[in-house]
């Protein structure tokens, strides 16, 4: 009985949350799990997030927040597990022709807006961090969706890495940026096999533009998806990248930024 009353009060206190208000509450109020603890994945919660993405109904946010709190899901879990899962579900629905490209794009845009607000909330809630790593995050020509790159940028920034996002840059833009700024690494996010040749071209351009040796890392759906020939060694051979991985910790280690990630734990 007490638990039912508490749930009602929590839902009332969370009523009429805006997207920004939802993000602020998730980041500031949902505690990290105890040391060594692991969150169990909730299929019901995942469906709620997908439903919000597909409908855009902000009235669902108050209930969603309450369910996150009841299941003790952390802000990290929302950003690193549930949002990527929602994007995958939406992409599969489009692939299976359950939704059209317009509805899929709108759903992904809502996820990107939520991620952006959570990233802002994270930055304001954790002031005073000193960044000691700089990464250029970019997309090759032909990529149509930037949400995967935004998810990666969010993860890197939460580990103390300063990220410059440059979507579909022209060669002159890359050259100018690398002349005036130095980076510890370039991360290229690519979605599928059609990006192999554009990635190879971008790697060649980066080598040409930079006056210093800079590690180039390729990740994203190109690496993690189950299409034939997605072996990292083969992708590295074709593209010329130094490292090919969808594991963010391995990527940081490869470019000498593992100490940043360790300090963020």
pLDDT tens-digit series, residues 188-202: 998 888 888 999 999
Of 152, 162, 134, 166, residue with least CA distance to 256: 134
Whether residues 149 and 223 share a domain: the answer is yes
Q: In the block, which residue shows the tokens 């103390």?
A: 160
- Write down which residue in 125, 146, 164 finishes a domain: 125
Whether residues 43 and 154 share a domain: the answer is no
pLDDT tens-digit series, residues 121-155: 776 655 444 456 889 999 988 887 778 888 888 88
pLDDT tens-digit series, residues 48-102: 999 999 998 888 888 888 888 888 888 888 888 888 888 888 888 888 889 998 9
Whether residues 69 and 156 share a domain: the answer is no
Whether residues 85 and 191 share a domain: the answer is no
> What pLDDT score was predicted for residue 131?
53
pLDDT tens-digit series, residues 210-226: 888 899 999 988 887 64
> What pLDDT score was predicted for residue 217?
95
Structure-token pair, residue 217: 């890392």
Whether residues 232 and 191 share a domain: the answer is yes
Distance CA 179, CA 212 (A): 10
CATH number at residue 162: 3.40.50.280
Q: In the block, which residue shows the tokens 């299929």?
A: 43
Whether residues 8 and 95 share a domain: the answer is yes
Distance CA 220, CA 241 (A): 14
Provide the 3-class DSSP secondary structure of residue 164: strand
Whether residues 115 and 154 share a domain: the answer is no
Strands (E) in 92-246, as ranges, are: 134-138, 162-166, 185-189, 216-219, 243-244
Please tell me what DSSP assigns to residue 58.
T
Q: Which residues pair with 163 in a beta bridge?
A: 135
- Write down which residue in 71, 96, 125 finishes a domain: 125
Whether residues 168 and 197 share a domain: the answer is yes
Provide the 3-class DSSP secondary structure of residue 186: strand
Domain containing 192: what range?
Answer: 134-264
Domain count, the chain: 2
Please tell me the pTM assigned to this model: 0.71
């Amino acid at each position: 009985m007490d638990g039912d009353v508490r749930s009602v009060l929590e839902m009332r206190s969370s009523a009429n949350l805006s997207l920004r208000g939802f993000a602020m509450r998730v980041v500031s109020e949902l505690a990290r799990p105890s040391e060594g603890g692991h969150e169990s994945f909730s299929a019901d919660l995942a469906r709620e997030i997908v439903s919000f993405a597909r409908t855009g109904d902000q009235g669902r946010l108050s209930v969603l927040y309450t369910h996150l709190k009841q299941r003790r899901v952390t802000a990290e879990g929302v950003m690193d597990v549930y949002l990527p899962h929602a994007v995958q579900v939406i992409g599969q629905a489009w692939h299976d022709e359950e939704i059209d490209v317009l509805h899929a794009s709108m759903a992904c845009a809502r996820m990107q807006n939520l991620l952006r607000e959570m990233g802002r909330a994270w930055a304001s809630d954790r002031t005073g961090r000193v960044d000691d790593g700089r990464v250029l995050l970019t997309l090759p020509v032909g990529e149509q969706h930037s949400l995967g790159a935004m998810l990666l940028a969010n993860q890197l920034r939460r580990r103390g890495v300063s990220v410059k996002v440059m979507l579909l840059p022209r060669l002159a833009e890359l050259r100018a940026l690398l002349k005036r700024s130095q980076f510890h690494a370039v991360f290229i996010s690519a979605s599928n096999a059609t990006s192999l040749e554009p990635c190879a071209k971008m790697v060649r351009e980066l080598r040409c533009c930079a006056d210093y040796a800079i590690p180039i890392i390729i990740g994203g759906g190109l690496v993690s998806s189950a299409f034939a020939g997605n072996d990292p060694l083969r992708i590295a051979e074709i593209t010329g990248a130094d490292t090919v991985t969808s594991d963010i910790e391995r990527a940081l280690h490869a470019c000498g930024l593992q100490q940043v990630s360790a300090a963020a734990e």
